[in-house]
Chains A and B, each alone.
Chain A
């Protein structure tokens, strides 16, 4: 039982929890206690210290901002107005709250607001669906398009939109980079003749990719009735992130163990079975390493691209909040930051699991 728990924890990448399980079972309390301290308690403490430092720093920035606001009021409107301002700020009134780095508490509060907001919008959507169900059924019969909910998307909706975009971009990257990488890996000539393309395009910033892609997509999809900003952003994400997979695949394919190739030569395997039965399986670990990097790059550039392309998602959420300048906007941006980080971490973990599952290396 305990072993199964530990094994599943390890598999999920929560190996650091196994001293805890062992402690509960009373196995080697001294050693596991030490491990628990090192792997669980100290990390938790470090999070707490991080929060405390943030809190302290935001407090400090708040005070600086508060003093400046009061001083400004004093300079422009006189002593009395300054006193009123001071009172207003200290009473916690939102109308005169200094705009600075939000404290961890503010961020927590903003997260709750966002969730509440999501519930509200979801309820609204449900109500809308119910209300329009009858009409939409009728419109469908007449061959008309259904009436869609056009209200503001909630934070959670934005997350899913971003995930969709990154997934589309990731698939595009995989579909482009893996076959191209295989071809490059197989042909020394192609590899050296196209090396400059890879070296030049690899470091190009996501912003430039976005502009380049929009130049092309704008023309091609000029008349097409579809969401251009989505197309532009997922293609840009794909193009930005595909290079790791391309390079890793070509390296994997070109560096197949010589022994395997000798076996393949002795058996006189055809080109196809050589590629699909020998070369590809043996480069799978490297291909997946590439895909893992691709996914994390895709997620990282996605935010920047959404922000610029005005395509819905977390990136535009951050941008809108920044432009918005409401008193909890800063806190919401930080919530988004943690959500982005958390999702990036989760995606990486998922890829790591896939990578482990497909790797043929001995587990020993």
Chain B
């Protein structure tokens, strides 16, 4: 019945382990973690603070060493960080001395080394317009508001045309109004690009609204997958119809019950 099952696996975590050595022996954040993410699937990972979900994401990104196990993208093990796994960081992490355009451009240059300057500019402008910054190309990143910075962060990630998009609590630092706005922006851009995405969050509504599947992680140490919810709401989604959908509360209940433990 599910169409998705026929599609190929884009990202796979095999028996992942993360341990930090301490004088009293290893502190194991995460052990025996398995995950398969299909192409064009949007997966959210939800769990309590400190359960190791951000650690997991940075390991997939290649920014954090893997203690044991492996991460495969298109069946090939990852080697360090790379633009095939674009990251939207929690703090936008823009270079404040560059303009919005330059911040996107610096990545695009790496990914499309043979494109002309004009083509690169067009790519950047396209994505910046998509996230609603059509009239802020040349504003310095330091002069942008937090919400606008994260818009640039989203544009920068999509402009890399990554195989996998990694979102590390992308809206965690925003106020609730801006968060809702940016969720709409994200789902808008994502619907067009359908890039395989993994998002870490602790916002239940956000997870349901954006994902095809929500992975619930048990609290660490020794965190692993506790439960999985398949969100079968039709796409493209709109906030209003999602909230009014009878299943929405069912999913919500499911997630909240898990998190209550």
B-chain residues with CB within 8 Å of residue A284 when the two chains form the complex: 97
The segment out of B76-84, B216-224, B249-257 that lies at the interface is B76-84
- Tell whether, in the assembled complex, residue B143 and residue A282 are in contact, meaning their CB atoms are under 8 Å apart: no
List the A residue with the shortest CB-CB distance to B143: A362
Q: How far is the CB of B132 from chain A (nearest CB, A)?
A: 21
The segment out of B44-52, B88-96, B117-125, B231-239 that lies at the interface is B88-96
A-B contacts, CB under 8 A, total: 58
- Does A267 have its Cβ within 8 Å of any Cβ on chain B? yes
Contact flags A283-327 to B (C-beta < 8 A → 1, else 0)? 010000000000000000000000000000000000000000000
- Tell whether, in the assembled complex, residue A259 and residue B91 are in contact, meaning their CB atoms are under 8 Å apart: yes
- Tell whether, in the assembled complex, residue A267 and residue B83 are in contact, meaning their CB atoms are under 8 Å apart: yes
- Does B134 have its Cβ within 8 Å of any Cβ on chain A? no
- Tell whether, in the assembled complex, residue A268 and residue B83 are in contact, meaning their CB atoms are under 8 Å apart: yes
Partner of B106, one of A262, A265, A267: A267
A-chain residues with CB within 8 Å of residue B83 when the two chains form the complex: 266-268
A-chain residues with CB within 8 Å of residue B93 when the two chains form the complex: 257, 259-260, 262-263
A-B contact pairs, 15 of them (CB 8 A): A262-B81, A262-B89, A265-B63, A266-B61, A266-B83, A266-B87, A267-B106, A267-B110, A268-B82, A281-B98, A282-B97, A360-B97, A360-B142, A361-B142, A362-B143
- Cα A281 to Cα B107 in complex, Å, equals 17
B-chain residues with CB within 8 Å of residue A343 when the two chains form the complex: none
The dominant DSSP class at the B interface is: loop
Partner of B110, one of A268, A282, A360: A268
- Cα A9 to Cα B100 in complex, Å, equals 31
- Cα A278 to Cα B102 in complex, Å, equals 12
- Cα A263 to Cα B63 in complex, Å, equals 10
- Cα A120 to Cα B89 in complex, Å, equals 69
Partner of A278, one of B95, B140, B160: B95
- Does B32 have its Cβ within 8 Å of any Cβ on chain A? no
Q: How far is the CB of A171 from chain B (nearest CB, A)?
A: 24
- Does B85 have its Cβ within 8 Å of any Cβ on chain A? yes
Contact flags B98-121 to A (C-beta < 8 A → 1, else 0)? 100000001100100000000000
A-chain residues with CB within 8 Å of residue B142 when the two chains form the complex: 360-362
- Tell whether, in the assembled complex, residue A267 and residue B97 are in contact, meaning their CB atoms are under 8 Å apart: no
- Cα A360 to Cα B85 in complex, Å, equals 29
B-chain residues with CB within 8 Å of residue A265 when the two chains form the complex: 62-63, 80-81
